[in-house]
Structure 1
Amino acid sequence: MPQTWLITGTSSGLGASLALAALRAGHRVLATARNTSTASTLQPEITSLGGIWIPLDVNDPDTPTIIQNAINTHADGVIDVVVNNAGYSLLGSIEDMSEAEIESQFNTNVHGPIRVLKGVLPFMRKKRAGTVVNVSSSAGVDGAPGCAVYAGSKFALEGMTESLSKELHPFGIRVLLIEPGYFRTKFFSAFVAPAAGLNEDYVGTPVEAALKLIKAKDGSQEGDPEKAAQRILEVVDGNGMASGIAEKGFLRVVLGPDCWKRFSGKIEGVRENLEAMREIAHSTSFQ
């Protein structure tokens, strides 16, 4: 059955691929971008397939009102799926990052999705149905060097989404966390570095090595964003490779063999850590 989707950050990358996948599947798409004139030029197929462009900067405090007006104007007050995809990465040494740079990272990656949710959730609660899709990252489960603030923003999104899945369940609203590994988008080439540059003490450390790896890997990432978009679409629609998964209520959608391997290693490390702390954990009660 055709549904109405609202997707943020659709000018390129995974957001654009997902908008196209949803449109090709027969869904209605409200595609948001900070500059819709540029975005529509970059993604003419979204327009030709019937996508509706909505100018939106998720950093704008008026985001909830802008979204509510768009839903009322272009979707007759109905929204079935919202995808919080807009975001960016601030990479480097945390020492070199200014307060303004750190605040901007969290404003976009954490406060942005909150503003979007405040815009759509009243419609979903009224309908007692809907799907919230928050796009996280492999960095949202496993923090890597050079990614402290970016990973922190994604860890925050992960925790928020876990709670949301429980809070919204009584309203029939499903919540999903998308966790992509390395996909061939502009993510690597578009990351933001601190204006202060890299402190000399970090030269030759894991921070510099991670930044060099990201720059070297740009353009050769193994992940295909169109395939990722198709998998997300199937999870939301409950068909294809995701047939039967929706009924099981899984929260996380892991995309990419690199992400799978990274998560597996994280789980094993956490389990080992937990077992090592068993005696200490049970030694702190009054009795």
Structure 2
Amino acid sequence: MAQQVWFITGASSGFGTEIALKALQTGAKVVGTVRSRQRASDAVEKIENAGGECVELDVADAPSCSRVFKQVESKHGGVDVLVNNAGMSWRGPIEDFSDEEAKDQFEVNFHGPLRLIRASLPGFRARQHGTIVNLSSSAGLDARPSVGLYAASKFALEGLTESLAAELSPHNINVLLVEPGAFRTKFLGAGKVPAALNADQYPIAKTFMENFDKADGRQPGDPVKAAARIVEAVTGEGMAGGLRGKVLRMPLGPDCVRRLEGKIEVLGRDLEKARGVAMSTDL
């Protein structure tokens, strides 16, 4: 098997750094993106000392996405695995967000992955080979108070990924949607709040925001183990190797499993309650 080339966004910390390091351990060539090599110097050093490469890219900068991806393709003779990991979260009651803040959320979590997917597909289709990994969240199927914008961006990414997987199935291109629960990364601490925040008017949202702050640094999930499962599902080897090409969604973490089980239960209950009404509307 030829040496795989991985392109991983958001390699500056957390999942991005750990996925890059795990992929390098398989013998792959790895290019990780960071917004600033200087600000992400610790991650850059780890990845490059392990044999990888880091390039600067802000996924919210539309022209840069295509340009940087094509540069990597040209340098390495193609890309085999695209990992859309870069992401961020706005937190607060939905009423408090401005249009610009909402756009900012979607630029990073939805439009960024979309741009890189578009950039990757010509090469993947030409070779009839490739893998796209989109990092979603347990919030991508189960939205909670105070993270409405974040959940909306991940719901959108999930819908895009479902359609993408169907479109690419004849082309031997694998698509994997990863849904992590709470993992001990810097993600919670990097959350943003709206300029017009007035959480007191929404006590439920305020409580959830306070709980997120308390959970920062205490999350039960191990990002190193999560990265290993993701890499295994891509390569087809190891504990998660059997999932390669067999599943669209891969939940990670016992807390994520519980949330998805609860969501399935709610969906089933709503369906049964509304079944008679739903069945009454044909011509």
Is structure 2 residue 69 aligned with structure 1 residue 71? no
The question of whether the paired residues in 1 share the 8 Å contact of 2:72 and 2:79 is answered with no
User: Residue 61 of structure 2 corresponds to which residue in structure 1?
Assistant: 60
1:195 counterpart = 2:192: no
* Number of the residue aligned with 1:156: 156
Aligned to 1:169: 169
| One-letter amino acid of the structure 2 residue matched with residue 284 of structure 1 | T
Q: Which of these residues, 260, 265, 269, is aligned with residue 268 of structure 1? A: 265
Secondary structure of the 1:89 match is coil
Counterparts of 1:205-244 in structure 2 under 5 Å? 205-244=203-242
**Is contact 2:44-2:54 (8 Å) kept?**
no
Q: State the secondary structure of the residue aligned to 1:41.
A: helix
Q: How many residues get paired?
A: 281
Moved more, 28-37 or 221-230: 28-37
Contact 1:64 1:117 in 2 (8 A): no
Contact 2:125 2:171 in 1 (8 A): yes
Distance 2:279 2:95 in 1: 37
Distance 1:22 1:70 in 2: 17
SS for the counterpart of 2:55 is strand
Q: Is the 8 A contact 2:92 2:199 kept in 1?
A: no
Deviation, 1:40, is 3.6
Q: CA RMSD in A?
A: 1.1
CA separation in 2, counterparts of 1:37 and 1:46? 14
| Amino acid paired to 2:31 | L
Matches within 5 A, 1:93-112: 93-112=93-112
Distance 1:269 1:185 in 2: 30
* SS of residue paired to 1:219: coil
Instruction: Please state whether the residue corresponding to 2:59 is helix, strand or coil.
Output: coil
Counterpart CA distance in 1 for 2:84 and 2:234 is 14
Q: Give yes or no for contact 1:178–1:255 (8 Å, CA) kept in 2.
A: yes
Partner Cα separation in structure 2 for residue 149 and residue 245 of structure 1:
30
Compute the TM-score of the two structures, normalised by the length of structure 2. 0.97
- Matched residue SS, 2:105: helix
In structure 1, the partner of 2:256 is: 259
Structure 1 outlier segments of 4+, above 6 Å: none
- Asked if 1:283 corresponds to 2:257, the answer is no
Offset at residue 55 of structure 1 (A): 1.1
Q: What runs of 5+ residues in structure 1 fail to find an aligned partner? A: none
Contact 1:40 1:46 in 2 (8 A): no
Q: Displacement, 1:41?
A: 3.4
Q: Does 1:119 align with 2:116?
A: no
CA contact (8 A) 1:54 1:70 kept: no
Per-residue Cα deviation, 1:201-254 (whole angstroms, up to 9, x for no partner): 12xx2101100110001111000000000000111111111233225x210011
- Unmatched tracts of structure 2, length 5 or more: none
Distance in structure 1 (CA, Å) of the matches to 2:261 and 2:44: 36
Separation of aligned partners in 1, 2:36 and 2:222: 25
Given the alignment of the two structures, is residue 91 of structure 1 paired with residue 82 of structure 2, yes or no? no
- Worse overlay, 87-96 or 30-39: 30-39
Offset at residue 71 of structure 1 (A): 1.5
Letter of the 2:251 counterpart: V
**Match of 1:36, SS?**
coil
Equivalents in 2 of 1:206, 1:120: separation in Å? 41
Shift of residue 199, structure 1, vs aligned partner: 4.1
* Per-residue deviation, 1:119: 1.5
Q: Distance in 1 between matches of 2:254 and 2:11?
A: 24
Opposite residue 279 of structure 2, the aligned amino acid is H
Q: Alpha-carbon deviation of 1:196?
A: 1.5
1:53 partner amino acid: C
Corresponding position: 1:44 with 2:42 = no
